[in-house]
Structures are given as C-alpha cells and as structure tokens.
Amino acid sequence: MSQTRSPATPFTSLQSLPDGYRALVIGSTGAIGSAFLNHLQADPRCALAVGLGRNTQPAVDLDDEATIAQAAQHLKDQGPWHVILHAAGMLHGAHGLPEKRLGQLNYAQMEATFRTNTFGPALVLAHFAPLLAKQDRSLLAVLSAKVGSIGDNRLGGWYSYRASKAALNMLLKTASIEVARTHPLAVLAALHPGTVHSALSAPFNGAEIGRAPAEAAGDLLRVLDGLGAEATGGFYAYRGDPLPW
C-alpha cells in the first residue's frame, strides 16, 4: 500500500529504537502515511513495517470502532510494537471547505471532521497503545496541526478543523500520562508536519508552497527519534520545536 520511493530520497533510520524494531502506520494510503511506511520499510533496523487502512488486511476504518479493535487484537501477537503512527485525517470533505465564518458552521461538517480527526484517533489510542513494547523504548505519534494550537491562533477561521486538532492534542496528552504508568520508556507525541503536497492541501496551494511527503515524513521521524521519555505528551513541529497548546 506504499508509494514508490525515489532513489534520490534518503530514508530515515530510527537509531534510538532497538535493532529489529516493529512498526505500524495507520492511514498508510495517504500522502504522509505512505511516506512514513516507505521510510520504515527501507530502514534495515526495522524488522517489520505494516500499513493499515480501510482496504488492508486487517482493515482499520475510523468510522467503525469494531475494525479498530479487531485490527489491534489481530496484530497483538506480532508485537511488541515499537512504533505506532496515526497519519489519517481530513481538512475538507463532502460537506465543504473549512469554515471561515461562524455563519458557515453546520452540524454535518463538524461531526464528520471530529469523527476523522478526533474520535477515530482516540479509539486508535485506546486499542493500539497497549501494543507498545513495555521493556524497550517505543514511539506513538498522531498527526496534528499547528492551527490546532489555541495559543497560536491569531487568524481565526477553520473552526471545525482547529477544534478537532486541539481536542486530539488533549487526548494525546492525557493518554501519555496513563501510558507512562505501564510503559515508562514510551514517548507519545502530537506532530505538526507543515504544509505537505497532498489531496488535503491541494485546494490551498499546497502544491506550490508545500513540501514533498517523503521529506515531511523524514523530518517527523527524526523529531520522534530525538525525543526522550520526559518529552512524552508534547506537541512538536517538524523542525523539533515545541508548539503551544
């Protein structure tokens, strides 16, 4: 389910993890998700890298909690897993582009945005976080967005998307506190990839101002690789700098 990697694009090796680490990418058919999977599959230190989505076996459909639970149960015996990356998300869909004004808010668009950006990832945390290695260092990350920062919001607009990512950040932060009690070496992080060439960014000139998915994925993996256990629960940009909540 991965894209073909250009020979000119170097892969990112996760040196902080044990040799033979195992990795999962949820949302592996998207631009960044497939780039994550390519990096991991190219890393000789990675023994197994599995991509998950609606059309994989097992399947993960964020609108169907049963598929999330069943996929986690199916993959449990192949673990422990040292890397779990959630790369699925939506900015716009059937109900329109992000709302610029209060008058554009509607229940259908808000519900669809939260189901994909918040509720689905929350259930991924619930079912997949227990699969992380307990005795070794492990990494779990969700794709967030800088516009989900409440402290950094100076332009307004994009109501549902901003709110769904802010809520995702809180879920990740809260989960990190619980997971630390049983997985003291685990690092959970919310990551901002910047503007990336993808279907998500295309209506907003992403192809003109954004970066290649392989570059963005490599940057994010390097950020994760450099985070210590004390950094768990944080919100980080692709350059490694922490972002305000």
pLDDT value for 4: 36
Res. 21 pLDDT band, cuts 50 70 90: very high
Res. 3 pLDDT band, cuts 50 70 90: very low
pLDDT value for 133: 97
- Does the pLDDT value for residue 5 go beyond 50? no
Q: Which residues pair with 139 in a beta bridge?
A: 83, 187
CB within 8 Å of 171: residues ≥ 6 apart: 118, 121, 122, 125
In angstroms, what CA-CA distances link 49 with 8, 45, 61, 99, 121? Answer: 21, 11, 19, 37, 19
Residue 243 inside a domain? The answer is no
pLDDT in tens, 49-62: 999 999 999 999 99
Count structural domains, the chain.
Answer: 1
Three-state DSSP class for 212? coil
pLDDT in tens, 169-187: 999 999 999 999 999 999 9
**Cβ–Cβ < 8 Å for 26, 50:** no
Residue 81 inside a domain? The answer is yes
Residue 172 inside a domain? The answer is yes
Which has the closest alpha carbon to 140: 26, 34, 15, 238?
26
Residue 97: give its domain's CATH number. 3.40.50.720
**Helix-strand-coil percent breakdown of the chain, rounded to 5?**
40, 15, 40
Residue 242 inside a domain? The answer is no
Q: How far is CA 56 from the centre of its chain?
A: 18
Calpha distance 128→154 (Å, rounded): 35
Residue 157 inside a domain? The answer is yes
Residue 126, domain extent:
21-237
Residue 116 inside a domain? The answer is yes
pLDDT in tens, 85-142: 999 998 876 777 899 999 999 999 999 999 999 999 999 999 999 999 999 999 999 9
Q: What is the mean pLDDT of residues 12-38?
A: 96
Residue 4 inside a domain? The answer is no
Residue 13 inside a domain? The answer is no
How large a percentage of the chain has pLDDT more than 70? 90
Per the model's pLDDT, the better-predicted residue between 51 and 203 turns out to be 51
- Of 11-15, 73-77, 220-224, the least confident: 11-15
Res. 199 pLDDT band, cuts 50 70 90: low
Res. 33 pLDDT band, cuts 50 70 90: very high
pLDDT value for 10: 77
